[in-house]
Amino acid sequence: MRKSFLVAGVSFILASCSSSAPVYMDPEIIHKKDLTFCVEDIGCFDGAGVVPRRSSYNMELAPREEDSIDRVVFATCHQTKPYLMADLPKVDLPVFGKWFGSKKKGIKWGYLPDAVLEDTGDCDLYVYALDFESEDHAWAVMRTENPKYKLHGRVYCDGDGGRDYSGVSVCDGKAGTYQRIEFREAVQVHTTSKCSEPVRIDAGSYKIKVGKGKCPYLFKSQSGEAHSLVLYGWEGFNFKKR
């Protein structure tokens, strides 16, 4: 969790909980994503993860200090849903890094992606857990697989030793660090002008310097298969304010 959430973003969330005015939250705010979330029948993720394509998802969230969180916001390219913590059903969740059997109170939420606007492989789900009194917040992002991205790759992110992805991947790393992606065949890479240009290691692998905020990368093989990687670059650690 981290202090110093943008005032404009906080104002929008406060307004959204008391009116029906349109709401927009910028998913490119530069904070490390450290909000634990679990998806039923899939698994748990610490801040960022990719899940199989489904028509609906039952999610469980575990804010680090659930008693201090005021509101939770779910946002995609199509919808923004703000909730008071008190209005969401509670559930016991395992605690990462604790003794086996340790539990904490989490919250439950159901996500039904719009078949046209959100089920695209490029419309990520962002989760914001907000505490306006202490300004301690937490974030998470969930990406979903999609048939248009079928090129398997292995991503080495933030010292995790490497993780295999079937076509959609995500990495949340400190801005300025280098991350790596590799494929079993030669690939070409495309990105936007504001993002760091990947450095080729060999025909099937690249290292990428993490920039600030969100950077998408599209890899294509000679056979035409594609892989979508999104890098999120953060600038500091999220220490809980005491």
State how many domains the chain has: 2
Q: Tens digits of per-residue pLDDT, 176-219? A: 999 999 999 999 999 998 999 999 999 999 999 999 989 999 99
Under-70 pLDDT residues of the chain: 1-29, 63-68, 93-105, 133-136, 236-242
Residue 91 shares a structural domain with residue 32: yes
CB 107 within 8 A of CB 90: yes
Q: What is the CATH number of the domain that holds 180?
A: 2.60.40.1550
Question: Do the domain assignments include residue 12?
Answer: yes
Question: Do residues 136 and 44 both lie within one domain?
Answer: yes
Domain assignment of residue 240, yes or no: no
- Joined tokens for residue 3: 């202090």
Domain boundary among 144, 174, 209: 144
Residue 2 lies in a domain: no
Domain CATH number, residue 17? 2.60.40
pLDDT at 12: 37
Which pLDDT score is estimated for 13?
40
Instruction: Give the contacts of 223 (CB within 8 A, at least 6 positions apart).
Output: 185
**pLDDT score recorded for residue 97:** 41
Contact 7, 16 (CB under 8 A): no
pLDDT at 16 (0 to 100): 39
Q: Is 13 in the same domain as 122? A: yes
Query: What pLDDT, on the 0 to 100 scale, is given for residue 90?
Result: 77
How far from each other are the two terminal CA atoms of the chain, in whole angstroms? Answer: 12
Q: In the chain, how many H helices and how many E strands?
A: 1, 19
220 shares its domain with 140:
no
Say if 92 falls within a structural domain: yes
